[in-house]
């Protein structure tokens, strides 16, 4: 049985001490109340409690001074600072001084108990070593079958200059895959230039891609290189290619065919040697059918296609991705690496993640700033995630599928069966192969198909697995 956690409360107000002492009178908590910090400062520094709760305004040593002295000697000790509701400056100063959390007065006793228990949970973790993931800066994380398919594609394209088209929802990591393709290619020592078509005004796209001559238009005060010239010898990543205007599609097609172009306002051809990697969250075949994307350009780009799964399709990767992003955020913000409790980690694997990997990365950055202690509990998670478990994870996949169809139609998607059925079959195949350890005969039996049917489906949906 775990020893009772020692809680020390410092407040010169007898009523506050009385209320807290009774609110915290729990079998697993050993509470001591003190009216002045200066009388017990040496003892607190020599034998610190598990959690310290202190008021700010007190005779002798005030709460912020006590916090500062304790932090110098015991930086891992959770200190809860009590402040008046109106005392915003004190709350800010508490956080800046390293407080675990602040408790506004007047407080709810249940809230005070919950906060102390959270501080105790963090205190119990203070001796646990934290390992920072290494060697994960440039590599893509993924143990799920769908990501293994992506890794196989990167490996097979490692010595190639061939054009690649990456398909995947927003936030799935298309640029990371493009960078990996570049870094593992013969062009690795040359520039990697990324350009998002959806982020550039239509009237500036051609200038961004091909550059312009001095005086080509109002504001063109000097000659400017475009992204094609900047990427010469290397790789040009064109994200959201489906948003490229029709006239720019025509110019891009000519560059891909001839390897040369004219700057905007120019008359001298510029020759370049650039590998194109394009990406989109849209169905380009549908755009071609609707006349919004050139068919000949589509075939130029669609030499090799790599499909990126949604984060909800690779839930087994979420714990490792989370540890990686927490370590990244700690480096960015020059702070200690936060760690998840098993309960918090399990909760995150059940969340729907409509924003995919990018949403998870932003959540880890938020937690690094906002979580009170080193250990992240379920209640530390952003409020919008606490009720956001996936209906698929809780067993109601049909309802989730219905929601997807509803959102897709509302967003103007057409030919839904052409998009959904291949994905549906691909997921079932990958999952069956995962359960059989890659044995295709057994996987076919699990799916209710014959071996020949599975082989035919693999050739179309997962060609790299068909070759294994």
Q: Cα dist. 292→7, 56, 448 in Å?
A: 67, 64, 39
pLDDT band at 131 (very low <50, low <70, confident <90, very high): very low
Note whether 160 and 302 are same-domain residues: yes
Query: 72 is written with which tokens?
Result: 């110098």
**364 or 435: which carries more pLDDT confidence?**
364
- Give yes or no: residues 161 and 286 share one domain: yes
Looking up residue 295, the CATH number of its domain turns out to be 3.40.50.300
CB neighbour class for 311 (10 Å; exposed up to 12, middle 13-18, buried from 19): buried
Q: pLDDT digit string (tens) for 86-102?
A: 555 666 666 667 778 87
Residue 447's CATH number: 1.10.10.60
Residue 246 located in a structural domain: yes
Between strands 270-271 and 260-261, the pairing is: antiparallel
pLDDT bracket for residue 130 (50, 70, 90) = very low
Rounded Cα distance between 219 and 264, Å, is 13
| Placement of tokens 């599975």 in the chain | 454
Q: Tokens 């480096």 map to which residue?
A: 331
pLDDT tens across 285-303, in order? Answer: 999 999 999 999 999 999 8
Question: At residue 122, does pLDDT exceed 80?
Answer: no
- Res 112 pLDDT > 90: no
Same domain? For 70 and 84 the reply is: yes
Check whether 233 has a pLDDT greater than 90: yes
Give bridge partners of residue 275 from the DSSP assignment: 235
Q: What is the extent of the structural domain holding 165? A: 153-307
Asked if the structure places residue 378 within a domain, the reply is yes
Examine residue 395 and say whether the peptide bond preceding it is cis (omega within 30 degrees of 0).
Answer: no
Residue ending a domain, choose from 253, 281, 307: 307
- Tell me whether the omega of the peptide bond preceding residue 106 falls within 30 degrees of 0, making it cis: yes
Q: Which residues contact 417 (CB under 8 A, 6 or more apart)?
A: none
pLDDT on residue 88: 59
Instruction: Decide which of 242 and 154 is more confident.
Output: 242
- Same-domain check for residues 232 and 159: yes
Query: Could you give the CA distance from residue 80 to residue 63 in angstroms, rounded to a whole number?
Result: 10
Closest C-alpha to 33, from 22, 42, 46, 47: 22
Tell me, yes or no, whether 167 and 288 share the same domain.
yes
Same domain, 99 and 185: no
Nearest to 329 by CA among 358, 356, 367: 367
Residues 60, 188: one domain? Answer: no
pTM here is: 0.59
Angle made by CA atoms 131, 137, 140, in degrees to the nearest 5: 105
The torsion defined by the Cα of 39, 41, 43 and 45, in degrees rounded to 10, comes to 180
Which tokens is 418 given? Answer: 């052409």
Domain boundary among 335, 370, 386: 386
């Amino acid at each position: 049985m775990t020893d009772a956690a020692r809680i020390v409360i410092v407040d010169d107000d007898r009523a506050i001490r009385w209320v807290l002492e009774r609110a915290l009178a729990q079998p697993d908590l050993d509470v001591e109340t003190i009216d002045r910090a200066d009388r017990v400062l040496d003892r607190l520094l020599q034998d610190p409690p598990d959690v310290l709760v202190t008021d700010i305004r007190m005779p002798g040593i005030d709460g912020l001074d006590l916090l500062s002295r304790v932090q110098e000697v015991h930086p891992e000790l959770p200190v809860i600072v009590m402040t008046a509701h109106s005392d915003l400056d004190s709350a800010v100063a508490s956080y800046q001084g390293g407080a675990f959390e602040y408790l506004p007065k007047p407080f709810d006793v249940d809230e005070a108990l919950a906060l102390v228990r959270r501080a105790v949970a963090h205190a119990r973790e203070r001796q646990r070593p934290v390992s920072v993931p290494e060697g994960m800066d440039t590599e893509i994380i993924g143990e799920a079958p769908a990501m293994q398919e992506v890794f196989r594609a990167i490996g097979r394209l490692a010595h190639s200059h061939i054009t690649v088209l990456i398909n995947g929802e927003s936030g799935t990591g298309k640029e990371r895959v493009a960078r990996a393709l570049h870094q593992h290619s013969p062009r690795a020592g040359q520039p990697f230039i990324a350009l998002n078509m959806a982020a550039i005004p239509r009237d500036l796209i051609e200038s961004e891609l091909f550059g312009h001559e001095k005086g080509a238009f109002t504001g063109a005060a000097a000659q400017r290189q475009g992204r094609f010239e900047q990427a010469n010898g290397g790789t040009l990543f064109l994200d959201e290619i489906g948003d490229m205007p029709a006239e720019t599609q025509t110019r891009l097609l000519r560059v891909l065919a001839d390897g040369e172009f004219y700057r905007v306002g120019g008359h001298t051809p510029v020759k370049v040697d650039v590998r194109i990697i394009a990406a989109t969250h849209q169905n380009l075949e549908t755009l071609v059918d609707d006349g919004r994307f050139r068919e000949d350009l589509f075939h130029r780009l669609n030499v090799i296609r790599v499909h990126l799964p949604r984060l909800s399709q690779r839930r087994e990767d979420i714990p490792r991705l989370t540890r990686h992003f927490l370590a990244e955020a700690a480096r960015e913000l020059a702070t200690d690496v936060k760690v998840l409790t098993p309960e918090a980690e399990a909760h995150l694997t059940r969340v729907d993640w409509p924003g995919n990997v990018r949403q998870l990365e932003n959540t880890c950055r938020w937690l690094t700033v906002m979580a009170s202690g080193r250990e992240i509990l379920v209640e530390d998670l952003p409020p919008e995630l606490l009720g956001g478990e996936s209906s698929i994870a809780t067993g109601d996949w049909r309802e989730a599928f219905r929601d997807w169809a509803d959102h897709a139609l509302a967003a103007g998607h057409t030919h839904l069966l052409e998009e959904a059925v291949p994905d549906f079959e691909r997921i079932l195949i990958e999952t069956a192969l995962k359960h059989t350890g890659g044995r295709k005969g057994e996987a076919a039996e699990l799916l209710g198909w014959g071996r020949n049917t599975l082989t035919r489906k693999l050739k179309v949906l997962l060609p790299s697995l068909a070759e294994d």
